Chains A and B, each alone.
Chain A
Amino acid sequence: MGVGVFAFLGTLAVISALGVILQRSPVHSLLALVATLLALSGLMIGLGAVAIGFLQAIVYVGAIMVLFLFVIWLLNLQRDPGEPGRLAVKFFGAIAVAALVAELFAFFVRAPMSPMETSSSYGSVDRLADLIFSRYLVAFEVASLMLLVAVVGAVAVARRWPGDEARPNGAVGADRPVLQQARRA
C-alpha cells in the first residue's frame, strides 16, 4: 500500500478515535468508533491481510457495534453532562498518555524492521484457515467454547429474573440480608 493511502486511512483512524473519547453523545462516539474500525480494516487489507480485514468489518462493525448501539438505546443515554471537578485526573491522565505515546513512539521508530514480505498468499483465506484448523485447532475449539460461555453468562447477567420487579427501586440485594447489612454499615 502506498504512503498516501496509509496517510489517509491513518489520519481518519486517529481523528475518529479522538472523536470517540471527545464526543459528549454516546451515539456520536459509537459512530466515530465505527469509522475508526473501518479505517483499521482498510489498513489491514492494505497490508495484505484481506481475510482478517473483512472479518474485522463483519465482526466489529456488523455485530459488536450494533450491540453497543442497542445498549445505548436501552439505557436511553443522552449527552453526557460535563464532568466538573475532575481536572486533576484529566491533567495527570494527559501527562501519562503523552508519556506513553512518546515511549512507544521512540521504541517503534528505532525498531529495526526488515522490508515487508511481498508474498501474495500472506493474508489469503487459505493460509489463515490452514493455520487455524491445524496448529491452532485447540485454541479455536477453546475460543468457541468461550463464546458459548460468554453468551450464557451475558444472558444470565442481563436478564430480568422473576422477582426483580418486587425489589424496592430494583436495588441490588434487597432480598439478601448480608448485603443490606453491608450497605447500612
Chain B
Amino acid sequence: MTPVSYYLVLGAVLFAIGVAGVIMRRNLIVIFMSIEIMLNAVNLTLVALGRALGSADGQVMVFFVMTVGAAEAAVGLAIILAAFRNRHTVNADEIGLLRW
C-alpha cells in the first residue's frame, strides 16, 4: 500500500503548479485551467485523507467541490466571453478597467 503522505505530497505539487500557472500566465482561459488544477489537487488530498481517517465525509466534500467547480466554470467562462466581446482580448493585463 502507498502511504497517505505520498498522496498529500502529490496534491501539494499539483496545487503549486496551479498557483504557478495563475501567477505566470496572462491568458484568462489558462489561468482558469490552473484554478481547476488547484481544485483537483485539493480533491485528491481530501480523498486520501478520508481514506486515512476511515471516513467517507472527505468524498462528500469532493462531491461538493465538483458541483461548485461546475458552477464556477459556467459563470467564469461566461464572464470571459463577455469580457472578450467588450475588449477583444483574453489577456488579463489588458482587462483593467476597474483597476486604478
The answer to whether A116 and B13 touch across the interface, beta carbons within 8 angstroms, is no
Q: Which of the residues A55, A105, A154 comes within 8 Å of B75, measured between beta carbons?
A: A154
Task: Assess whether A171 is interfacial by the CB under 8 Å rule.
Answer: yes
B9 near A105 (CB under 8 angstroms)?
Answer: yes
CB distance from A99 to the nearest CB of B (A): 9
Chain B residues close to A by CB (< 8 Å): 1-10, 12-21, 23-27, 29-30, 32-34, 36-37, 40, 43-44, 47-48, 50-54, 56-57, 59-60, 62-64, 66-75, 77-82, 84-88, 90, 97
Residues of chain A having any CB pair with chain B under 8 Å = 1-3, 6, 10, 13-14, 17-18, 20-21, 26, 29-30, 33, 36-37, 40, 43-44, 47-49, 51-52, 55-56, 59-60, 63-64, 67-68, 71-72, 74-75, 77, 80, 83, 86, 89-90, 93-94, 96-97, 100-101, 104-105, 108-109, 111, 113-117, 119, 122-123, 127-128, 131-132, 136, 139, 143, 146-147, 149-151, 153-155, 157-158, 160, 164, 169-172, 183
